[in-house]
């Protein structure tokens, strides 16, 4: 069975209440339940932390266990060379996801230290970006891992 991890960074634990005009009213827990139902043949684990080092440790722990990772590093996208290095080091295909369109926001959000280490990036499609990332990984990894 295909093993995927969704890794969410800082403040994504507040989805549903945090700036609903940008991020919507849906909690990630509610969305994650529907995502698992949509992909019943994929084992999807979810991890969230507001702490940079914990995110790096979790990415390291995916080595040898996960076939792919969906990463929404939140604000660390624009600041963390360490997370970018971890993405590069683990040797697992990673799709970067952002709920909001980061290119339509503040200038400092237009830089991603992580994007160049990922197989692709999805931005501005709301929570659907996660499903699109999972679908991409399913389509591109299933024949290689099963």
Catalytically annotated residue among 23, 31, 76, 130: 23
Q: Could you identify the residue written with the tokens 């959000």?
A: 109
The answer to whether residue 87 scores a pLDDT higher than 90 is yes
Residue 67 is among the residues annotated as catalytic for this protein: no
Confidence of residue 22 (pLDDT cuts 50, 70, 90): confident
Q: What mean pLDDT comes out for the span 88-93?
A: 98
Q: How far is CA 105 from CA 68, 88, 90, in A?
A: 28, 26, 30
Residue 146 above 80 pLDDT? Answer: no
Find the range with the poorest average confidence among 3-7, 61-65, 79-83, 110-114: 110-114
Q: What is the pLDDT of residue 145?
A: 55
**pLDDT score at 17:** 83
**Catalytic residue (choose from 31, 76, 98, 130):** 98
Q: What is the 3-state secondary structure (H, E, C) of 106-130?
A: CHHHHCCCCHHHCCEEEECCCCHHH
Q: At how many degrees (to 10) do helices 128-145 and 28-38 cross?
A: 40
């Amino acid at each position: 069975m295909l093993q995927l991890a969704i890794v969410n960074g800082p403040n994504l634990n507040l989805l549903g209440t945090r700036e609903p005009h940008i991020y919507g009213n849906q909690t990630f827990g509610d969305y994650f339940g529907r995502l698992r139902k949509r992909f019943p043949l994929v084992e999807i684990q979810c991890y969230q932390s507001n702490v940079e080092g914990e995110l790096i440790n979790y990415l390291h722990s995916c080595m040898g266990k996960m076939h792919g990772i969906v990463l929404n590093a939140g604000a660390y996208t624009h600041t963390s060379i360490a997370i970018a290095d971890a993405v590069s080091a683990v040797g697992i295909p990673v799709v970067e996801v952002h709920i909001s369109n980061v290119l339509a926001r503040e200038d400092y959000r237009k830089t991603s230290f992580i994007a160049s280490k990922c197989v692709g990036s999805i931005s501005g499609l709301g929570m659907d970006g996660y499903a699109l990332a999972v679908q991409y990984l399913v389509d591109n990894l299933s024949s290689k891992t099963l």
